[in-house]
Amino acid sequence: STMIGRVKWENDDVKEQNGSVEGKMSLYFNAIDRYFASRKGKHDPIVTWEGNFWECTEDIHDYADFTIESLECVTRKVVRALRERITDSGRLLVLLPNVIQLPLTVLAAERLGIVPVIVNPISLTTDRLSSILGEIKPTLIVTLDGFFQGKNLYETKKLLDESIEKSKISSLKEILVIGHVGPRPGVPPPTAEYPGRRPSYSIQVPMSAGRDLEWSKVISSIDKDVHEKEVVWKGMEDTVFEYPIWKESGLTIASISMGTVLEWTDDMANKLSCGPSLLLSSLNDYVFTLVSLIASLVAGKRVVFYEGSIDYPDPARVSFIIKKYEVETLLIDSLSSLDKEYSSIVALPTLTTVISKEQTDGPSLFPSARHLSL
Q: What confidence category does residue 201 fall into, taking pLDDT thresholds of 50, 70 and 90? A: confident
- Find, among 107, 124, 129, 359, the residue nearest to 240 by Cα: 107
pTM above 0.85, yes or no: yes
Interval 96-149: pLDDT, tens: 999 999 999 999 999 999 999 999 999 899 999 999 999 999 999 999 999 999
- Residue 88 pLDDT > 60: yes
- C-alpha span between 123 and 245 (Å, rounded): 13
- Residue 349 pLDDT > 60: yes
More confident residue, 164 or 45: 164
The 10 Å Cβ neighbour count of residue 316 is 19
Say whether domain 2-359 belongs to CATH 3.40.50.12780.
yes
Residues 149 and 309 sit within 8 Å (Cβ to Cβ): yes
pLDDT at 148: 94
pLDDT at 343: 84
- C-alpha span between 215 and 198 (Å, rounded): 18
* For range 297-321, the mean pLDDT: 93
- C-alpha span between 76 and 17 (Å, rounded): 35
Q: What is the DSSP letter of 85?
A: T
Q: What confidence category does residue 151 fall into, taking pLDDT thresholds of 50, 70 and 90? A: very high
pLDDT at 161: 98
Backbone torsion region of residue 137, taken as left when φ is above 0, otherwise alpha when ψ lies between -120 and 50, otherwise beta: left
User: Which stretch of DSSP H or E encloses residue 76?
Assistant: helix 68-83
